[in-house]
A = this chain, B = another copy of it.
């Protein structure tokens, strides 16, 4: 161990990760440094001395105790340093998203009566984060009960459509969803700032002929697009598109690339809704590639291997990541009643719940192991 250079060196599988004094100091979770009710620092870290250094470091196989030049002393467990240095994932972290086709997909399902069982809830959320959607089965099928269902996972995200919206045919439809027309798979509300994170669709009646629900994994089709046409993928992930909703009382606009990537190039958010997107008048070469790419993506979204299709039955409730998953439906006839209700919540609700459940279940398991 060497800290005279100002760094503590973490050796791992041939790699050497230099850890800065300032970085380590701000990770200290000693009870006088970080409020354990909120994990907020008690002090303002921008006020730490500029020349903060490691004065002393003593390692054992559990971790390392460090004395800093400002007098703070703290013990850092090895596992925590590995996690914070990005060499190991946190045991409570969300699972990685897994692209799927209908051949590899196991749809995550929660029987609603099991919703208060921590293992069952954790398992369905695990599937939700892996595959981008989940199906809640045998939920109450009375009107507006969706509010109670969705709030099990997080606070309702109200929009100008209200807390809930009804999906059934209307005389004067304010959205194509409120007709009997087929809807090609799309994401919802790409014109909204910010776009709702998670959509619920709750089936109260589905007696019309047709009206099958379709679900497509945006991660899968974006991955396929990237492989098949990197140039189109590049334009779709960079060209800012104007998404719009305009009526007498509402004028929503949002500008963003169709495929938004994070700084590591991973899919962060897909906005695909080709009836309300408007490209800017950039040079014809780029624009041509954009239109070809959008066509390509739409074609992929209709390829049978990518389309999970099934008919919702009364009491079924779909929960879909609206930043990743496309949803649509086949046309339906007027020969029976079809009535769905929808609403939104944000990502933080289920994400926080998953991490908290993970920790709880880990601790329960540890306690059981110790007791055994």
A contact residues vs B (CB 8 Å cutoff): 6-7, 17-20, 22-23, 26-27, 35, 37-46, 50, 84-86, 92, 154-160, 172-176, 184, 192-194, 197, 238, 240, 244-247, 249-255, 257, 262-264, 274-276, 278-281, 283-284, 287-288, 291, 294-295, 298-299, 346-349, 351-352, 355-356, 359
Question: In the complex the two chains form, is B245's CB within 8 Å of A38's CB?
Answer: yes
Closest to A283 in B: B18
B residues less than 8 Å from A251 (CB atoms):
92, 352, 355-356, 359
Q: Which 4 pairs from chain A and chain B are nearest by CB?
A: A39-B246, A155-B158, A251-B355, A46-B298
Question: In the complex the two chains form, is A40's CB within 8 Å of B238's CB?
Answer: no
Known: A38-B246, A281-B17. A346 touches B194 (CB 8 A): yes
Question: In the complex the two chains form, is A86's CB within 8 Å of B247's CB?
Answer: no
Question: In the complex the two chains form, is B281's CB within 8 Å of A46's CB?
Answer: no
With the chains together, A39 CA to B191 CA distance in Å? 12
A40-B276, A44-B298, A250-B356 given; name 10 further pairs at CB < 8 Å: A23-B279, A35-B176, A38-B175, A39-B245, A40-B275, A44-B275, A86-B280, A155-B160, A160-B348, A194-B346
Known: A252-B348, A257-B263. A37 touches B192 (CB 8 A): no
Closest to A298 in B: B46
With the chains together, A279 CA to B20 CA distance in Å? 11
B residues less than 8 Å from A86 (CB atoms):
280-281
Question: In the complex the two chains form, is A247's CB within 8 Å of B38's CB?
Answer: yes
Question: In the complex the two chains form, is B347's CB within 8 Å of A194's CB?
Answer: yes
Question: In the complex the two chains form, is A288's CB within 8 Å of B20's CB?
Answer: yes
With the chains together, A352 CA to B248 CA distance in Å? 11
With the chains together, A50 CA to B238 CA distance in Å? 22
Question: In the complex the two chains form, is B160's CB within 8 Å of A349's CB?
Answer: yes
Question: In the complex the two chains form, is B194's CB within 8 Å of A37's CB?
Answer: no
Question: In the complex the two chains form, is B41's CB within 8 Å of A275's CB?
Answer: yes
Query: What are 20 A-to-B residue pairs whose CB atoms are below 8 Å?
Result: A20-B287, A22-B288, A37-B172, A38-B247, A38-B276, A40-B175, A40-B176, A44-B275, A46-B274, A46-B294, A46-B299, A156-B158, A160-B348, A240-B264, A250-B352, A251-B356, A252-B351, A252-B352, A254-B348, A255-B262
Nearest Cβ in chain B — how far from A229, in angstroms?
A: 15
B residues less than 8 Å from A155 (CB atoms):
158-160
With the chains together, A192 CA to B351 CA distance in Å? 10
B residues less than 8 Å from A46 (CB atoms):
274, 294-295, 298-299
With the chains together, A370 CA to B154 CA distance in Å? 52
Known: A193-B197, A193-B348, A197-B194. A249 touches B356 (CB 8 A): yes
Closest to A292 in B: B50
Known: A37-B174, A38-B176, A280-B86. A275 touches B352 (CB 8 A): no
B residues less than 8 Å from A156 (CB atoms):
158
B residues less than 8 Å from A250 (CB atoms):
352, 356
Closest to A296 in B: B46
Nearest Cβ in chain B — how far from A148, in angstroms?
A: 15
With the chains together, A355 CA to B262 CA distance in Å? 30
Nearest Cβ in chain B — how far from A19, in angstroms?
A: 6
Closest to A356 in B: B251
B residues less than 8 Å from A23 (CB atoms):
279, 281, 287
Nearest Cβ in chain B — how far from A319, in angstroms?
A: 16
Question: In the complex the two chains form, is B240's CB within 8 Å of A263's CB?
Answer: yes
Question: In the complex the two chains form, is B160's CB within 8 Å of A352's CB?
Answer: yes
With the chains together, A372 CA to B253 CA distance in Å? 34
